[in-house]
Copies of this chain bind each other. A is one copy, B any other.
Amino acid sequence: METHDSHQDQLSHLSPSTVENDQVHPGYLETKDSYLKRLRRIEGQVRGLHRMICEEQYCIDILTQIAAATKALESVALGLLHEHLSHCVLQAIQSEPETAKEKVAEATAAISRFVKS
């Protein structure tokens, strides 16, 4: 008969440890620097859009840059979503199964908001 401990072992190898000293860390901790770099780049793209409008550049060129910034934001969102499902949601199922349904509903609501944006 499988004990909770060996069941926990099976789950733990699926996600890096995200619980330290009873403090829960979000799933993107390992790739935090990468997200920070990407967001700085997107911030620069938006400042660039501001400059393009100041300089009265051609509308189509501005639209092209907006599409690029939107795509970059979308990419960050999809990455965070993956890590959230892989870590935060799995973690909840492992340690507090009664919250799992709620965590899934919360995640799909966030996906829904993103899809409709």
Contacts and interface: CB of A to CB of B under 8 A. Distances in A.
Interface of A: 1-7, 10-11, 13-15, 25-29, 32, 35-36, 39-40, 42-43, 46-47, 49-50, 53-54, 56-60, 62-64, 66-71, 73-74, 76-78, 80-86, 88-90, 93-94, 97-98, 100-101, 104-108, 110-117
Given A63-B110, A68-B117, A104 B82 contact: yes
16 contacts: A1-B5, A4-B4, A7-B7, A11-B97, A26-B59, A36-B54, A60-B107, A66-B76, A66-B114, A69-B73, A70-B70, A73-B73, A81-B108, A85-B108, A89-B104, A93-B94
A104 B90 contact: yes
